[in-house]
Amino acid sequence: MNHLPVLPVLIPLVAGALLLLLHDAPLRLRRLVVAVACLSLLGVALMLVTLADRGGYLVYQLGNWPSNVGIVLVVDRLSALMVLLTAILGAVAASAAAGGLDTRQAHFHALLMFQLMGIAGAFLTGDLFNLFVFFEVLLIASYGLLVHAADGERLRRATHYMILNLTGSSLFLVGLGVLFGLVGTLNMADLAAKIAATPDENVALVRAAALLLMVVFALKGALLPLWFWLPRTYAAATPAVAALFAIMTKVGIYAVYRVHTLVFGAEAGPAAGVAEPWVLPLGLATLVLGALGALAAPSLRTLTGHLVVASAGTLFTAFGVGGADALGAALYYLVHSTLAAAALFLLADLVLRHRPAAGDCLRTDDAIRRRDPLALAFIVAAVSIAALPPLSGFVAKVALLDALAAHPSGAWLWTVVLASGLVVIVALARAGSHLFWRPPPKGHVATTPVAAPAFAETAPLAALLTASLALSVLADPVLAYARAAAAQLAAPSAYIAAVLGQRPVERPGSDR
Amino acid sequence: MLFALIALPFAAALALMLAPRAGRNLSAWTVGLAALAGLAILFVLAPAVFGGEVLRARAPWIEAIGLEFFIRIDGWAWLFAFLVLGIGALIVLYARWYLAPEDPPRRFFAYLALFMGAMLGITLAGNLLLLIVFWELTSISSFLLIGFWGRRHEARAGARMALAVTGGGGLALLAGVLVIGHIVGSYDLDLVLASGELIRSHPLYVPALVLVLLGAFAKSAQFPFHFWLPHAMAAPTPVSAYLHSATMVKAGVFLLARLHPALAGSTEWLLIVSAIGLSTLVLGAVAAVFQQDLKGLLAYSTISHLGLITLLFGLGSPLAVVAGVFHILNHATFKASLFMAAGIIDHETGTRDLRRLGGLYAAMPITGTLAIVASLAMAGVPLLNGFLSKEMFLAETLAFESWPSYQLAVPVLAVFAGICSVAYSARFVHETFFGPKGHPPKTPHEPPRLMRVPVEILVVLCLAVGILPNLVVADLLALGAGGVLQGPLPDYHLAIWHGFNWPLAMSAISLAGGLALYAILHRRGIARRIDLLSRGKIAFEGIVAALIGLAQRVTRTLETGRIQGYLLWLLAFILLVGASPFVDLAAPLSTKPAQPAGPMAVGLWLLIVAGALTVTVAYRRRLVAVIAMGIVGLGVSLVFALLSAPDLALTQLLVDMVTTVLLLMALRYLPAISPPEPERLARWRDGAIAVAAGLGTTAIVYMVLTRPHPSIAEYILATTMSEAGGANAVNTVIVDYRGFDTLGEITVFAIAGIVIYALLDRVRLTALTPFAAKGPAPHSLLLNLCAQLILPLAVAVSAYLFLRGHNAPGGGFIAGLVLAIALILQYIAAGSEWVDERLDHDWNRWIGAGLLAAAATGIGAFAFAHPFLTSSTPHVHLPLVGEIHLASAMGFDTGVYLVVFAACLLMLAMLGKVSRWEARD
């Protein structure tokens, strides 16, 4: 029995529970628990990626029930990749928080663990209601991580975040209820298999449910017009949390990629392709508005928040275009943009601390301390996220443009993608030249001492930036993996057969 | 060796980054040696390349997108690489002396090396995508170089402008290259160059051409993108000398030449390229006359010469290509030396303003002589290299055949530009070195000996090429032009004297006319009064400012920071999207007859509706709203009871009780009445959307409920006893069939508890609406008595519900809530002190223990090689309680019980803190 698929949920759950038991134990012990959990999560995720890359599906039937009765976890290339990304960001956040944040926020470690559990569970589950449950887990945990110490601005943003997402959760339930009422199953593979045979009088309802679910995921994934809360909320988060949040929008995007290719995908008969006509134009508009927002951003953190929005727009656009090529390029882009955004959030915090008077504000002048290393990190991060060569962003953009070319309105897509890319370049050039070149106001004497950032804070940043380079140097295997993952998405019948064909384990000698 | 060639500059940049203490000499030597070593490699390769070989070295990079690390050296690549490294080495030497002690040399030379490497990469790339990689690297590194003195406003603005224009052009080029790759099926330069016919006849040829040209023109500062170049003069002069003579701006014309076999030869090419080249040639030449800044003059002159080269490539004949290649070489030599001379003047006098200079020849005769010779080359005076290529150029303008008026315009405008170029060259020489002594900030003198060496070398080259072209440059030119044309060279003859012919006459007119023009302008002082500022800069900054303004307006409009607005978008979007399928698809309201509603059902329905309406109407009075919500919850639990779902009814009831109490406690920290909504219109709009959303949901739910419902319920009812070992299917669903969901849900509950703890533990809240006046809380004796009586009973009931849960209504969730409610009642009746004294626990730990218990039970299945949460059920018969199964499901339910109970109490304890403070106060 291979228990690997459930471990990404169990490891953080057990660690989180342990941390509750140890919540007033010495800091070192708690950090040790977190470190062990993060490292084992990374190890498990790597093993899952290796296993998934053999091309099959790992179907894990919880409680040993048949797939259509109980809950299943399904590991394919996509879910394994997303779990790996989660594990990486978890380690990054834990390390960055060890700079001192984790001493200031009660239950930080436990919340971090539960957050990872929720994200990993959402990526692994093959059951639509279970996806809802994990959405709740990650939502409430992220709320806990956001509200940190109840200071006014953060609390307000976090409350907005919570209210919006609870509204989304209610909508999720409505959509789920409709599907369950009409189709009678919550297992995604089972749903997919049955939805193609929807009788005519139910088609409108099923399509409506599909669209409502799309809205739920779009709210998480930051699609126009549902992302307006995001930049300020992310900007108000502490750096470690903001870095971790780089993957939160990806949860929504993953859900669209998964559910709308599997349940409402090409083989879904009357419900096929219901979301794409909405997602494509809105995704493009999201990309444009995200890029514009970056240009208008008053601080490096809100700028990064808008770049997160822009990357979500790119990913939705790719989904709207559809097909294995576009999705393959998009998955590579997803990995790249998540890591790059996390890096920029971490960097924004370091910049903020090294400009004692102005913080990361892009309107006020201040002398920046430790300029050279910070500027270097900024250049690397900016080059990566602005999709300039030779880092991963460029590879992603070329692959994406290649894939978009096949679309009937490919010329327009190219124009929008390239033009917003230029806007992002301008925005980052303005931000960088302001932060690192502009002299402090006249008569300014830099007196406030700035403590050097801890190794635990700089190491994850360095690692993320190196990852961008590595993703470019080793782009071939990563792209091949992403394309294979997309090919799996584009052909859902294999997934359906694997899940529904899986038999529970025989249990000799038991009464079952 | 080919890889070493391209790696050298990058290695130098990296080495400098890692050597924090490197000073001026060490930094310069590092980069200089890299350039010299590169030149040495080029010389080693020379015999093969001159022999007509094309050298190739390949390394795989990203096959998936067609990007190969392919170094390909033919004659053209070799020649240009030679130019890049040769001038680069001289620039390094010059910069060593130019940089001020306070300029960080390590950074400067690292950027320079990076730029040199990127430029070299453009020349050597044998794969168009690889070329793009280096192309954009030059944009990035030139951004850093131009902004080197970033404390100055103009340096920052110039750097950003250069990046935006050339980077934007790079994006267009990328698109163009992708299209070419699409047409050819590969980015391999060998293949692309061999596919000229295919490309030109493809329907996507024009888009590809336009995109590539956009990139090339933006880089080579062709009209209308020329404006960034003069502003890039804010860079330190070695940078200007390098970027604007041999490298950066030459990248565009390099590309025109490189892709000549693939793209040129069509009417579109001829029209676009020659017209843009011609306008740039004239425009740059005129503007150069009216500059007051030495470097500004040189910058516009560079634009003009680039236009000349572009025009030549646009004319497209093999001879024009030879002329273009030749002029690239010549311009690089004289312009680099002129920039360096200007830098020396700036360095030694402290100004570059032509109006403050003058009569410098006496103070710096050697520099003066060098600059004069180079200026003569720029003006196209015989015996200098500029003359030769200009002659060829003029000959080509005459040989050009096209529409009559255009055919006439080209040579006429070429002569006009020639006149201007003589005029600005004359102005450069005369107003710097001759005429009345200026009043510069510093007393001028000759620069350090070594600073002058690069200028001397270049000027000697200008002369050597100009006097002995066949000896010095013929082979190089043939090599380069051959590489561009990828085929046989046309017949041409390098000579100073071709006899009396039209080109010579045109040269003579240019010289005479130029001198005359300058004389007029100078005598009247016109040139000094007019400062032709570039409109492009104003336009560019206007566009950027407008874009930022637009972005700010959009952001302000959308990101209001108000939750009401965000919710409005969300609900409106839901309505729009959710309604869309019903527009064109028939959806009957019901497909099976609905059950008749009894009076009880109608009564409950009315109760729920009334409760919901009360919340909507009275939402500002929070207390009323909370109570009305409690009524709704109660109604729902009665509905469950009516529909024979006791588990759900019980759960709903208990959840509702706990929620209402906790909400009421939380209300104490809020104002009793929430602030009113701002506008009447907005209120109506919001109300309409809310009603529409409610009705929409109702309609959807009604439709679903009145349709046949296929379900797995039968399977569960059939197996709950035999497989899951419990008679209560609701409970077996919760703890077994979907135990994983339950695990998630109790985690949510647990997190909610600890979040409230994390939020409130260290915060001291003050109640806004105390329930009573100060003093001991007026606890009801009767309630207190009841509560105390109920407590032990509740404990027993809770245990009972818990134990029997698997087979009859009950279970860990319900039991946990029952116990929590008993304690909440106690708390209300007796006050928090009473509860605290008896139940002073760290509930966080209990929550953790509960989660661990649930998880551990599930993990127990691992021991039997079964998936997580697989239950095993040895049945045990207990008196009174009946048959229960211990072991797994029980352990899991214990976890549920603990988490639910402990989280409730944790929330209670946190929300109740305020009364303790009040009591203490």
Q: What is the pLDDT of residues B120-167, one digit of tens each?
A: 999 999 999 999 999 999 999 999 999 999 889 999 999 999 999 999
- In the chain, the amino acid numbered B843 is W
Do B498 and B600 share a domain, yes or no?
Answer: no
- Tokens 């309409």 belong to which residue? B688
Last residue of a domain, one of B646, B665, B684: B665
pLDDT at B282: 95
Q: What percent of chain B has pLDDT over 70?
A: 94
Give me the mean pLDDT over the A240-265 stretch.
94
Do B650 and B733 share a domain, yes or no?
Answer: no
- Would you call A137 and B751 a contact, using CB atoms and an 8 Å cutoff? yes
- Tokens 């309107």 belong to which residue? A363
Give me the mean pLDDT over the B428-455 stretch.
87
Do B728 and B661 share a domain, yes or no?
Answer: no
Would you say residue B836 lies in a domain? yes
Instruction: Determine the Cα–Cα distance for residues B238 and A325; give it in Å rounded to an integer.
Output: 46
**Which residues of B are less than 8 Å from A70 in CB distance?**
737-738, 740
Q: DSSP letter at B645?
A: -
Instruction: Determine the Cα–Cα distance for residues B833 and B839; give it in Å rounded to an integer.
Output: 10
- Would you call B178 and A402 a contact, using CB atoms and an 8 Å cutoff? yes
Task: Give A449→chain B minimum CA distance, Å.
Answer: 22
More confident site: B339 or B710 = B339
**Torsion of the alpha carbons at A146, A151, A155 and A157, rounded to the nearest 10:** -80
Would you say residue B791 lies in a domain? yes
Give the contacts of B595 (CB within 8 A, at least 6 positions apart): none
Interface test with B, best of A437, A469, A471, A481 (most B CBs within 10 A): A437
Do B306 and B387 share a domain, yes or no?
Answer: yes
- Would you call B758 and A107 a contact, using CB atoms and an 8 Å cutoff? yes
Band the pLDDT of B767: cuts 50, 70, 90. low
Do B448 and B324 share a domain, yes or no?
Answer: yes
Task: Give A346→chain B minimum CA distance, Å.
Answer: 22
Contact A476, B68 (CB under 8 A): no
Among chain A residues, the shortest Cα distance to B575 is held by A212
- Would you call A414 and B175 a contact, using CB atoms and an 8 Å cutoff? yes
Mean pLDDT across chain A: 92
Which run of H or of E encompasses B875? strand B875-878
C-alpha count within 13 angstroms, C-beta hemisphere, residue A408? 2
- Would you call B164 and A379 a contact, using CB atoms and an 8 Å cutoff? no
pLDDT at B838: 67
- Would you call A20 and B586 a contact, using CB atoms and an 8 Å cutoff? no
pLDDT at A362: 87
Structure tokens at B93: 């030497």
pLDDT at B545: 92
pLDDT at B836: 67
Band the pLDDT of A499: cuts 50, 70, 90. very high
Instruction: Determine the Cα–Cα distance for residues A219 and A208; give it in Å rounded to an integer.
Output: 16
Give me the mean pLDDT over the A390-416 stretch.
93
Instruction: Determine the Cα–Cα distance for residues B652 and B645; give it in Å rounded to an integer.
Output: 11
Nearest to B544 among A130, A212, A426 (CB): A426
Would you say residue B341 lies in a domain? yes
B673: helix, strand or coil: strand
Do B473 and B619 share a domain, yes or no?
Answer: no
B56: helix, strand or coil: strand
Would you say residue B486 lies in a domain? yes
CA B470 from centre of chain: 51
The 10 Å Cβ neighbour count of residue B152 is 14
Band the pLDDT of A47: cuts 50, 70, 90. very high
Interface test with A, best of B171, B204, B553 (most A CBs within 10 A): B171
Do B507 and B648 share a domain, yes or no?
Answer: no
Nearest to A160 among B566, B848, B866 (CB): B566
Do B915 and B818 share a domain, yes or no?
Answer: yes
Q: What percent of chain A has pLDDT over 70?
A: 97
pLDDT tens-digit series, residues B467-505 = 988 888 888 999 999 989 888 888 888 877 777 888 888
Nearest to B848 among A21, A134, A398 (CB): A21
Give me the mean pLDDT over the B254-268 stretch.
93
Band the pLDDT of B684: cuts 50, 70, 90. confident
Structure tokens at B84: 């890049």
Q: Does A444 touch chain B (CB under 8 A)?
A: no
Would you say residue B742 lies in a domain? yes
Nearest to B867 among A60, A110, A376 (CB): A60
Last residue of a domain, one of B485, B509, B531: B531
Contacts by B732-735, CB closer than 8 A, 24 or more apart: B732/B806, B732/B889, B734/B811, B734/B813, B735/B806, B735/B811, B735/B812, B735/B871, B735/B889, B735/B892, B735/B893, B735/B896
Q: Decide: residue A1, CB within 10 A, 0-12 exposed, 13-18 middle, 19+ buried.
A: middle
| pLDDT exceeds 50 at position A428 | yes
The 10 Å Cβ neighbour count of residue A451 is 9
| pLDDT exceeds 80 at position B534 | no
Instruction: Determine the Cα–Cα distance for residues A462 and A373; give it in Å rounded to an integer.
Output: 11
Give me the mean pLDDT over the B392-407 stretch.
87
**What part of A 213-252 touches B (C-beta under 8 Å)?**
214-215, 219, 225-226, 228-229, 231-232
pLDDT tens-digit series, residues A452-467 = 888 888 999 999 999 9
**Which residues of A are less than 8 Å from B586 in CB distance?**
200-201, 204
Q: What percent of chain B has pLDDT over 90?
A: 52
Q: How many domains does chain B have?
A: 3
B236: helix, strand or coil: coil
Which run of H or of E encompasses A59? strand A58-62
pLDDT at B832: 66
Do B734 and B619 share a domain, yes or no?
Answer: no
Would you say residue B302 lies in a domain? yes
pLDDT at A153: 76
Last residue of a domain, one of B481, B516, B531: B531
Do B509 and B637 share a domain, yes or no?
Answer: no
pLDDT at A511: 44
Q: Which domain holds residue B878?
A: 723-921
pLDDT at A423: 96
Do B656 and B730 share a domain, yes or no?
Answer: no
C-alpha count within 13 angstroms, C-beta hemisphere, residue B180? 30
Would you say residue B256 lies in a domain? no
Contact B388, B330 (CB under 8 A): yes
pLDDT at A150: 56
B264: helix, strand or coil: coil
Q: What is the ipTM of this complex?
A: 0.95
pLDDT at A152: 74
pLDDT at B775: 44
Which run of H or of E encompasses B486? none
Give me the mean pLDDT over the A166-183 stretch.
94
Instruction: Determine the Cα–Cα distance for residues B891 and B477; give it in Å rounded to an integer.
Output: 87
Q: Decide: residue B362, CB within 10 A, 0-12 exposed, 13-18 middle, 19+ buried.
A: exposed
More confident site: B179 or B502 = B179
pLDDT at A512: 41
| pLDDT exceeds 50 at position B676 | yes
Q: What percent of chain A has pLDDT over 90?
A: 75
- Would you call A181 and B865 a contact, using CB atoms and an 8 Å cutoff? no
Band the pLDDT of B18: cuts 50, 70, 90. confident
| pLDDT exceeds 80 at position A447 | no
C-alpha count within 13 angstroms, C-beta hemisphere, residue B624? 14
| pLDDT exceeds 60 at position A86 | yes
Structure tokens at B681: 């219109």
Would you say residue B427 lies in a domain? yes
Instruction: Determine the Cα–Cα distance for residues B552 and A371; give it in Å rounded to an integer.
Output: 29
| Cα distances (Å, whole numbers) of residue A20 to B30, B97, B354 | 57, 65, 76
| Backbone dihedral region for residue B679 (phi beyond 0: left; psi -120 to 50: alpha; all else: beta) | beta
Among chain B residues, the shortest Cα distance to A9 is held by B744
N-term to C-term CA, chain A: 18
Give me the mean pLDDT over the B540-563 stretch.
91
Task: Give B731→chain A minimum CA distance, Å.
Answer: 14
C-alpha count within 13 angstroms, C-beta hemisphere, residue B573? 26
Instruction: Determine the Cα–Cα distance for residues A129 and A73; give it in Å rounded to an integer.
Output: 12
Q: Does A191 touch chain B (CB under 8 A)?
A: no
Instruction: Determine the Cα–Cα distance for residues B860 and B873; give it in Å rounded to an integer.
Output: 13
pLDDT at A509: 45
The 10 Å Cβ neighbour count of residue B197 is 10
CA B513 from centre of chain: 51
| pLDDT exceeds 50 at position A510 | no
pLDDT at B724: 76
Q: Does A423 touch chain B (CB under 8 A)?
A: yes
**Beta pairing class for A71-75 and B55-62:** unpaired
Do B659 and B732 share a domain, yes or no?
Answer: no
| pLDDT exceeds 90 at position B3 | yes
- Would you call B743 and A71 a contact, using CB atoms and an 8 Å cutoff? no
Nearest to B573 among A60, A110, A226 (CB): A226
Give me the mean pLDDT over the A20-44 stretch.
94
**Which residues of A are less than 8 Å from B554 in CB distance?**
289, 292-293, 296
The 10 Å Cβ neighbour count of residue B445 is 11
C-alpha count within 13 angstroms, C-beta hemisphere, residue B696? 25
